[in-house]
Amino acid sequence: MKRRVRETYKHFDRHALELLERMLTLDPSQRISAKDALDAEYFWTDPLPCDPKSLPKYESSHEFQTKKKRQHEEAASGRSYKDPQSNMRRASHSTADKARRDKPDWT
């Protein structure tokens, strides 16, 4: 099977392509190690990575926190929040209930 990494990512830097091809090598004995990958030219040529301290800081977020925040905002604005999975839960319960009702009682 012909590799198409270079043609698919032709807009990538030469060093990035070399690293990507070495990381995507199927044969593990031929694949680049993590240590060697970190020493690759890609990480040591301009533009160099920025100092992590200069990156923007974002408040940590978890999906449950985000959901609660959205519910609170919608409640405060007068809109009611509808859980998108509530229909699925109701449907699964009603299906299980129906199966129990339809099951013959042999005892």
* The model's pTM: 0.46
In a domain, 76, yes or no: no
In a domain, 63, yes or no: no
* Helix, strand, coil abundance in the chain, percent, nearest 5: 55, 0, 45
In a domain, 14, yes or no: yes
In a domain, 84, yes or no: no
Domain residue limits at 41? 5-48
Which residue would you say has higher pLDDT here, 49 or 4? 4
Name the nearest CA neighbour of 13 among 50, 52, 40, 51.
40
Looking at the structure of the chain, the number of domains it has is 1
In a domain, 80, yes or no: no
Q: What is the pLDDT of residues 68-90, one digit of tens each?
A: 888 888 888 876 656 666 666 55
**Dist CA 72 CA 4 (whole Å):** 48
In a domain, 102, yes or no: no
Model pLDDT, residue 89: 58
Chain centroid to Cα 107, Å, comes to: 50
Q: Which two three-digit tokens encode residue 86? A: 């509530």
**Dist CA 5 CA 88 (whole Å):** 41
In a domain, 22, yes or no: yes
Q: What is the pLDDT of residues 7-65, one digit of tens each?
A: 999 999 999 999 999 999 999 999 999 999 999 999 998 888 788 888 888 877 778 88
Model pLDDT, residue 53: 87
In a domain, 21, yes or no: yes
